[in-house]
Amino acid sequence: MADTVDLFVIGGGSGGVRAARVAAEAGARVALAEEYRMGGTCVIRGCVPKKLMVYAADFSAAYQDAVGFGWDPVTPRFHWDRLIAAKDREIARLEGLYRKGLETAGVRIHDARAVLDGPNAVRLSSGERITARHILIATGGRPFKPDIPGAELAITSDDVFHLPGQPRRVVIQGGGYIACEFACIFNGLGSDVTLVHRRDELLRGFDRDLRAHLAAGMAARGIALCLRRNITAIARAGDALAVHLDDGGVLDADCVMMATGRVPNTAGLGLAEAGVVLAGNGAVEVDAYSHSSVPSIHAVGDVTDRLALTPVAIREGQALAETLFGPAPVRPDHALVATAVFTRPEIGTVGLTEDEAREEYDAVVYRAEFRPMLATLSGREERMLMKLVVDAASRRVLGCHIAGPAAAEMIQLAAVALKMGATKEDFDRTVAVHPTAAEELVTMRRPSG
């Protein structure tokens, strides 16, 4: 006879784990299945290991900058294997914490693949069948590779953390978060990097000034930007790879990385067979409360293709658990979500871009570009960008955009102000912290446009 639970979660990533814990703590009988490792994309093969590699890459610039501050020049040597081993130890530690948190909450964990067996049951790869009042799909996304000759010779962001050694020449296809971040990582670690992107600007959907500032900053650090180009084929060339472009050019590489987007990880889960409506890209279509077209089946996180950000998945998971097992429905709030891109220069952004604001408001823009203090003695040719987009009528700040050191840390606090409806005058009344880059956010007096 099949076991019965109140909630069965498919996927042990951030959203699924949060939903499972909150539901269990509310008294629900909860089970969770994860076929790979607990922690999902963010912990195992995304945000966390990537940020560790960002830190590693930053040390190359730190050694160079130190000379301008009186330190003797040194020629450090980077060891890829040491970084990967240290990264693996930290990921194992975090995975253990995720598992312990579930167990402490009373969640029954199944280290197995789970697929739907109708609207109220799942079948595990172990052969076990479990019935559930509610089923949550939290399987995240997976990398997409274009179908070109030699695509099997390229890696994705899932593979990069397991490379046996550091490639000397890296070609990356893409222009989004992942492509730009790994271009900067490999560049910082000393690899020769070429970024190939089919559009004429990076980071589609971001503020245009941020996009231009990032491209200039990456180029200044030695990353070759090959815009308005596509990779059409990859072939072996001895011990290396020949990367063919649509303009007839050929790039030599030791590693080719396809960072051409991610798609919802729904294939083979039995969703359509259970009556769940899917979007054209395979995403689970959900309402504002993360309910699918089948009343007993729900979905959160990247698998829904709403906002593919870890904190958003966590909020959605918590809201769903509270909706199903709490005193009242809770709707996750997707407005004014801040985000960061850990490139060099780093980007932090929240709210409307200048172009978006001008479509809806009589927008006024305040903009400051300057040399950060670190660059004054280091001699590094680097600029920082601060930008506030303001509604001229209400004076409410509609968007805040930052490029430069610590942009991610600053944007988190700026997001609080925007969420509260802060006006430009609220920013102006705030006394600056000096000397910091952040003080520019409260000292910009004259609009630039």
3-state secondary structure of 144: coil
Q: What is the pLDDT of residue 314?
A: 97
What are the pLDDT digits (tens) for 330-354? 999 999 999 999 999 999 999 999 9
Percent of the chain with pLDDT over 70: 99
Evaluate whether the domain defined by 339-442 bears CATH number 3.30.390.30.
yes
Classify domain 3-142+263-325 at the CATH superfamily level.
FAD/NAD(P)-binding domain (3.50.50.60)
Q: How far is CA 18 from CA 136, 165, 299, in A?
A: 12, 35, 13
Alpha carbons within 13 angstroms on the beta-carbon side of residue 192 total: 6
Asked if the model's pLDDT at residue 437 lies above 60, the reply is yes
Contacts of 446 (CB under 8 A, 6+ apart): 366
List helix spans (H) across 326-436.
Answer: 354-360, 373-378, 407-419, 424-429
- Residue 301 dihedral angles phi and psi, to the nearest 5°: 85, -160
Q: How far apart are CA 364 and CA 362, in angstroms?
A: 7
Helix or strand (DSSP H, E) at 184 = helix 177-189
- Which residues in 218-250 are b (16+ Cβ under 10 Å) and which e? beebebebbeebbbeebeeeeeebbbbbeeeee
Mean pLDDT of the chain: 96
Q: How far apart are CA 347 and CA 15, in angstroms?
A: 25
Alpha carbons within 13 angstroms on the beta-carbon side of residue 290 total: 37
Known catalytic residues are 434
Q: How far is CA 207 from the centre of its chain?
A: 17
Domain ranges of the chain: 3-142+263-325, 151-260, 339-442
Check for a shared fold between 151-260 and 339-442.
no
Q: What is the pLDDT of residue 3?
A: 81
What are the pLDDT digits (tens) for 250-292? 999 999 999 999 999 999 999 999 999 999 999 999 999 999 9
The DSSP result for 400-432, as a single string, is EEEESTTHHHHHHHHHHHHHTT-BHHHHHHSPP
**pTM for this model (two decimals):** 0.95
Structure tokens at 327: 């005193």
Q: What is the pLDDT of residue 2?
A: 56
- Residue 427 dihedral angles phi and psi, to the nearest 5°: -65, -45
Q: How far apart are CA 291 and CA 285, in angstroms?
A: 8
Q: How far apart are CA 189 and CA 171, in angstroms?
A: 15
Evaluate whether the domain defined by 151-260 bears CATH number 3.20.20.70.
no
- Residue 81 dihedral angles phi and psi, to the nearest 5°: -65, -35
Asked if the model's pLDDT at residue 123 lies above 90, the reply is yes
Q: How far apart are CA 23 and CA 127, in angstroms?
A: 25
Taking each helix axis as running N to C, give the angle between helix 14-25 and helix 310-325, from 0 to 180 degrees, rounded to the nearest 10: 30
3-state secondary structure of 130: strand
What are the pLDDT digits (tens) for 21-73? 999 999 999 999 999 999 988 899 999 999 999 999 999 999 999 999 999 99
351 forms beta bridges with: 399
What are the pLDDT digits (tens) for 215-227? 999 999 999 999 9
Asked if the model's pLDDT at residue 1 lies above 50, the reply is no
Taking each helix axis as running N to C, give the angle between helix 80-105 and helix 47-67, from 0 to 180 degrees, rounded to the nearest 10: 140
What are the pLDDT digits (tens) for 368-391? 999 999 999 998 889 999 999 999
With bands split at pLDDT 50, 70 and 90, how would you rate the model's confidence at 135?
very high
Residue 328, judged by CB atoms within 10 A of its CB (0-12, 13-18, 19+), counts as: exposed
What are the pLDDT digits (tens) for 161-201? 999 999 999 999 999 999 999 999 999 999 999 999 999 99
